[in-house]
Amino acid sequence: MNVFADLLPKSKPSDSQTGPRIQKNRRGIEIKSKREIEIMRQASAIVATVLKEILELAEPGMTTADLDRHAEKRIRELGAVPSFKGYHGFPASICASVNNEVVHGIPNSKKTLQSGDLVKVDTGAYFNGFHGDSCVTVRVGQVSPEADRLARVAEEALFAGIHQVKPGGTLLDIAGAIEDVVKANGYSVVEDFTGHGVGRNLHEEPAVFNFRTRELPNVRLRAGMTLAIEPILNAGSKKTKILSDKWTAVTVDRSWSAQWEHTVLVTEDGFEILTDRTKV
């Protein structure tokens, strides 16, 4: 999830919600301790487990609300609380963004998945005071070669960025690697939304951008940082707009979009993908 990190909270959790306290992060960039990193591994493993299940579960005829119910049920069964539900008033446990929907799609019992769809499923889990956050692009049924390529390149861009993560590296190293993959394949990088730090808060500093810019701080990476890296690609224009639900972002030209995200730890000698689905 990539709501702008400087948004002020619009609501507080209900008395029955045992999830994270909603707050604006004012702590700056946090370096996690060994104990905190271990908790984040557990939170992230829960997210990875749920998304791995959704990749296998999603099929034509299901609704995005079906996916949301499964995610919430499994997050809670695994001992965590959905990070997204209630966050700034968001009503669900996943963002489910279909085809030309870019991010923050609200699950809907009337939105039925069709063979050929690309659905971006983004979710987070809050466990013992820390969050894990990740997103996958689900290919529903048999997708077109064009849709498959868009999803594949988005994942390649994510890993190109991740492989730049190391102490002493910078956010521009990550951004440049992502942008190069995207542009080499003829796609555009969405600039309206970025990745972010993640940990005690769902959104922390710094903004982890996916394109070369001088408008955002080019932070130097240090061991113990935890980053949500999440390139978002459009097949057409990079421009987006927000629908009347005040959440769902769509492409202005109705071109399709793809997104992948991992929570990544900066280690002493490189990186560790905390939401690695191959390890759960």
pLDDT computed for residue 22 by the predictor: 35
Tokens matching residue 7: 């948004």
Q: Give the integer Cα–Cα distance in Å for 27 and 36.
A: 15
The phi and psi torsions of 68 (rounded to 5 degrees) equal -65, -45
Q: Give the integer Cα–Cα distance in Å for 67 and 64.
A: 5
Confidence of residue 268 (pLDDT cuts 50, 70, 90): very high
Residue pLDDT, tens place only, 131-174: 999 999 999 999 999 999 999 999 999 999 999 999 999 999 99
Which amino acids are annotated as binding site, given as ranges?
A: 104, 122, 133, 196, 203, 230, 261
Average pLDDT, the chain: 92
Residue pLDDT, tens place only, 4-38: 433 323 333 333 334 433 334 446 899 999 999 99
Q: Give the integer Cα–Cα distance in Å for 238 and 102.
A: 10
Q: Give the integer Cα–Cα distance in Å for 45 and 279.
A: 8
Please name which of 277, 245, 204, 203 lies closest in space to residue 101, comparing C-alpha atoms. 245
Confidence of residue 81 (pLDDT cuts 50, 70, 90): very high
pLDDT computed for residue 11 by the predictor: 33
Please name which of 152, 182, 143, 200 lies closest in space to residue 23, comparing C-alpha atoms. 200
CB 225 within 8 A of CB 271: no
Confidence of residue 1 (pLDDT cuts 50, 70, 90): low
Cα 205 to the center of its chain, rounded Å: 15
Quote the percentage of the chain above a pLDDT of 70. 90
pLDDT at 95 over 60: yes
pLDDT at 104 over 70: yes
Burial group, residue 61, by CB count within 10 angstroms (0-12, 13-18, 19+) = exposed
Residue pLDDT, tens place only, 184-210: 999 999 999 999 999 999 999 999 999
pLDDT at 48 over 90: yes
pLDDT computed for residue 236 by the predictor: 98
Which amino acids are annotated as binding site for a divalent metal cation, given as ranges?
A: 122, 133, 196, 230, 261
pLDDT at 100 over 70: yes
Which amino acids are annotated as binding site for substrate, given as ranges?
A: 104, 203
Q: Give the integer Cα–Cα distance in Å for 72 and 125.
A: 9
Q: Give the integer Cα–Cα distance in Å for 96 and 136.
A: 10
Residue pLDDT, tens place only, 112-130: 999 999 999 999 999 999 9
Q: Long-range contacts for 159-166 (Cβ within 8 Å, ≥24 apart)?
A: 161/210, 161/229, 161/231, 162/229, 162/262, 162/264, 162/271, 162/273, 163/271, 165/221, 165/227, 165/229, 165/264, 165/266, 165/270, 165/271, 166/221, 166/266, 166/269, 166/270, 166/271
Q: What is the mean pLDDT of residues 91-107?
A: 98
Q: Please count the other Cβ atoms lying within 10 Å of the Cβ belonging to residue 76.
A: 15
Sequential DSSP letters for 226-251: EEEE--EEESS-S-EEE-TTSS-EEE
